[in-house]
Chain A
Amino acid sequence: MSQVSSAPPFDDWAKLASEGNFEEVSAALESVVDWLERGGMPLDISIQCYESGVLLSERCAVMLRDADLRISEIETRAFPGRVASLSDDDL
């Protein structure tokens, strides 16, 4: 009863495992490991933690395996309009 620490955030972990980017997923995995290493949980919660951890680590592995650099390009709108005035000022 004296233990104030709340229950592990299983829902957050599940959400990250499906939607998170690599950093978020591996951070979640680390927090799962922290929970397990801290111990002091009922057995069924530990098992649930472990299952979350397995899910997250598999997600990490898949992300690393399937990683494909995303490339995009943005317009620098401000630029073209200013060219003329700049050259005028300089001359």
Chain B
Amino acid sequence: MTGRVVSVGLLTRYLKELIDRDDILGDIWVEGEASNVHVSQAGHIYFTLLDAESQIKCALFRKAALRQLYLPRIGDRITSHGRVGIYERDGTYQLYVDVIQASGTGIVALERERLRQQLAAEGLFEPSRKRLLPVAPAVIGVVTSKDGSVWHDILTVLRRRYPLTHVILAPSPVQGDHAPEALIAALSALQEDLKVEVIIVARGGGSDEELAAFNDERLLRAVFACRVPVISGIGHETDRTLIDEVADVRAATPTAAAELCTPSMRELQTGVNALRNRLQSAYSGLLAARRGDHISLSTRLAHGTPAKALVVFRARRERSTIRLFQVRWHHTAVLQARLNTHVGLLNAFRPRSVLSRGYSVLSKSISDAPLTSIDRMTAGDRITAQLLDGTLGMRIESVLPHLTVQTPKL
């Protein structure tokens, strides 16, 4: 190479390739103080990291910047992750940042944050891809350690809440260097059983180091790719691991995970009772409707029978008979009254009764009709007077007509 002249461009490209090929420079955490922070119009953030000895230019592009929980301000002590690369046009090297944290965070936490952001950027935590848990799974898979209380606690919950299910344990160590591989193997073994409807990945509480397996990128990707919904139940309430982010449902504890994917027997009993009540009422409703139809038909039928007509007829006849009696009685009474009047009148005109009151009947002779007028009667005529107990022979002495009372004419 000595004595050979190269162009600036070639040299820069050579340097770029050298740097790009370097594993350490491709994945490095750098700590320093932020200065010269400015945001470009496109939303990229450029800043310089300084310490007492040196400085490096940093670029945080817009896409990565959007994922950060924390953004640098001038004077902040920060730790940035990224890769070192050459910017060919200016012949400068810089740190292409993908994660920024305020300094003071441990390296494990920094790594976890980097992974969190990376997986978030890939969409592994997308709420839209979270699947619903089956309401009453027939088969539940559990990935946890066979020793320890977690498995026992899960069984206790399942026995109490939902003993109808079949639970399959895929045992795996839950801490230590080999735990991630073992957990992944357990997860995939459960997925081979096509009846498994949901998988619980559980572990009791522990330190960050003890829970490290549940932040392992390989395991997280395996959970993401799992055929059935996964519930994470890692540690206690306050323990957060990345598996909680990627799981379909995060349960605060292993027992909570068992509860989340099972209905309680009481709920089931209530559901069955409700169905049974609906069954009864639907059926008796139908029957009642049928019976109603039948009754109305029978009624209509009964209305049409001769018996009914007979009853009506009979009633009508009875009414007529009564009226007939009434009419007859009334008629008789009227006749009786009229008869009484006539009898009275007859009595009034009976000759004897007239004679007994002091009147007498005059006639030319006993066989003649009674005299009612002086007409054609003259003094000296003989007449007879019939009294109650005998007859008088008499001679008329004088005939005097009644004096007509003259009423003065007006």
Contacts and interface: CB of A to CB of B under 8 A. Distances in A.
Interface of A: 21-23, 26, 29-30, 32-33, 36-37, 39, 41, 43, 46, 49-50, 53-54, 57, 60-61, 63-64, 67-79, 82-83, 86-87, 90
B278 A26 contact: no
Contact of A76 (B136, B182, B279): B182
B168 A82 contact: no
B185 A79 contact: yes
A67 B146 CA distance: 24
Nearest to A82: B181
Nearest to B272: A60
Nearest to A36: B282
Interface of B is mostly: helix
Contact of A79 (B138, B172, B269): B172
Contacts of B181: 79, 82-83, 86
B63 interface: no
B275 A57 contact: yes
Contacts of B261: none
Contact of B163 (A37, A68, A86): A68
Nearest to B138: A21
Q: Would you list the 8 A-B pairs with minimal beta carbon distance, nearest first?
A: A36-B282, A67-B163, A70-B166, A78-B185, A79-B185, A53-B279, A69-B163, A50-B283
B188 A78 contact: yes
Interface residues of B, number: 43
B290 interface: yes
B165 A76 contact: no
Contacts of B159: 69
A64 B168 contact: no
B258 to A, nearest CB: 11
Interface of A is mostly: helix
Contacts of B177: 86-87, 90
Interface in B241-299: 265, 268-269, 271-272, 275-276, 278-279, 282-283, 285-287, 289-290
A87 B179 CA distance: 11
Contacts of A37: 278, 282
Contacts of B286: 36, 39, 41, 43, 46
A30 B165 CA distance: 20
Nearest to A39: B286
Contacts of B279: 29, 32-33, 36, 50, 53-54, 57
A82 B163 CA distance: 35
A66 to B, nearest CB: 9
B126 to A, nearest CB: 28
A76 B283 contact: no
Contact of B272 (A21, A26, A41, A76): A26
B164 interface: yes
Given A57-B275, A60-B272, A43 B290 contact: yes
B275 A33 contact: yes
12 contacts: A30-B275, A46-B283, A49-B283, A60-B275, A64-B164, A64-B265, A64-B269, A69-B167, A70-B166, A74-B168, A79-B186, A90-B177
B275 A74 contact: no
Nearest to A35: B282
B178 A70 contact: no
Given A22-B268, A69-B158, A79 B182 contact: yes
Interface string B181-216: 110011011100100000000000000000000000
A72 B166 contact: yes
B188 A61 contact: no
